[in-house]
Amino acid sequence: MPYAPQKMDRQAVARLLGRFGQWLPRHGAGSPQDHLGEGVKEPERTQEHCLPNFAGGQHFFEYLLVVSLKKKHSGPDYEPTITYQFPKRENLLRGQQEEEERLLGAIPLFCFPDGNEWAPLTEYPRETFSFVLTNVDGSRKIGYCRRLLPAGRGPRLPEVYCIISCIGCFGLFSKILDEVEKRHQISVAVIYPFMQGLREAAFPAPGKTVTLKSFIPDSGTEFISLTRPLDSHLEHVDFSSLLHCLSFEQILQIFASAVLERRIIFLAEGLSTLSQCIHAAAALLYPFSWAHTYIPVVPESLLDTVCCPTPFMVGVQMRFREKVMESPMEEVLLVDLCEGTFLMSVGDEKHILPPKLQDDILDSLGHKIKELQTSEQINEHVSGPFVQFFVKTVGHYASYIKREANGQGHFQERAFYKALPSKANRRFVKKFVKTQLFSLFIQEAEKSKNPPAGYFQKKILEYEEQKKQKKSKEKTVK
């Protein structure tokens, strides 16, 4: 059942989040907890990547939905309602049916997070954004949304195409939304064969392509190719919006706040900007995962989330700026993406990270940035220095996991941070090891007999090899 905006206390927010699951970043790892009053806990489950690194072979999606605005029976307001659903599931068991009803009941709120006061429009810029829902059992679903005016003449209300999937691959799903939009302009009936073909196709492995054959009236048969990036650890993010809105120094301060699991609020006009920037900020934490409240675009009825005293990373539309500013918030970093400024901050953001490593990140970010052309190049350029930061500070973690005969590991925390030669690095790591970010990561490492063979491990090995070569050269010079 869709919601009308209303003033809610913390317990009400908690009940609402508890009813439909919690909205959190799932770039892979985590044992997220809902910290809004009556918390909802998930079972612990940690992986190297923020969104799971899907090997391929899974289904692309669970649902395609069209969410439209329908006039309420009383008053001038509208409420978002699902007007198209594919596939329609029948013969579900009672428990499955209840789960589906909860999921489908929550989705309209996130497709129209900006409230119910709408009027028919003749022009409306299309917006592509996403949201993440994590249920109390730990299962996670991502909503990929395209909001635009439907085909027609005269004033009309926007609607949202929403694809629900458990797979994190934003660029690829944006292309699928392009195809859905193109078919919907012709007829809803034309969407079905395309989505059915997509549903029957296996999700490709990194670097691989799946080709779909689709017939469109008056256009004939089309072949649509969907390709995953070879390096899949960044396929869920696009850093371009973050770079457009903020300076390197500001991005570094946001990263520092996130590393210490503080409260961060992003403000922007557009849903696309909010969604892309908050996903990008969370992706900077790779190989760690934000394990607290995470809502890329906070619906109006959940604005009291910003009063939560525990860590969160949320996006709020600029129209609600005054409500946010008037809310009783504890220490928070409030980021205005429109003006590229911090409206509120704790004050120590520039001093959280070791000075030498901060300089290294800023130097790397500024190096040849204007020469980059593709989104893949930009993503790798921005992510690289932050990955390198974690390589230099905690990349030696595997050497400080002591294993029993049965393979179970025990992390030697004190010896781990004492092994760092730099005092500034030691000071930072002493704080970082106490965060949930690090705890969840190290719990998984303790269970695994070998370090995960992912991108982070590759960078650790490269760094260790560089150190060996440097030592070897120094010995030769002597």
Cα four-point dihedral sign 364, 264, 283, 271 = negative
Q: pTM to 2 decimals? A: 0.83
> How far apart (Å, rounded) are the C-alpha atoms in residues 216 and 236?
29
pLDDT score, position 234: 80
pLDDT for the residue numbered 19: 39
**What angle, rounded to 10 degrees, do the helices at 375-394 and 355-366 form?**
160
In angstroms, the CA 350 to CA 441 distance is 25
Domain boundaries, the chain: 63-198, 241-362, 368-477
Binning pLDDT at 50, 70 and 90, where does residue 231 land? low
The pLDDT score that the predictor gives to residue 2 is: 33
Q: Which DSSP string do the residues of 50-94 spell out, in sequence order?
A: SS----S-SBS-SEEEEEEEEE-SSSS-EEEEEEEEESPP-S--H
Q: What is the pLDDT of residue 286?
A: 93
Answer whether the bond into residue 125 is a cis peptide, omega within 30°.
Answer: no
* C-alpha–C-alpha distance, residues 30 and 406, integer Å: 25
Q: Which whole number is the average pLDDT over 422-438?
A: 96
Please state which of the four CATH numbers 3.40.50.11500, 3.40.50.300, 3.50.50.60, 3.40.630.30 is assigned to the domain occupying 241-362: 3.40.50.11500
Nearest-angstrom CA–CA distance, 55 and 194:
23
Q: Is the predicted pLDDT of residue 346 greater than 70, yes or no?
A: yes
Distances (CA, A) of 78 to 152, 208, 432: 20, 43, 46
Residues 371 and 287 sit within 8 Å (Cβ to Cβ): no
pLDDT of the residue at 51: 41
Superfamily of domain 63-198: Longin module (3.30.450.200)
In terms of average pLDDT, the best of 101-105, 204-208, 331-335 is 331-335
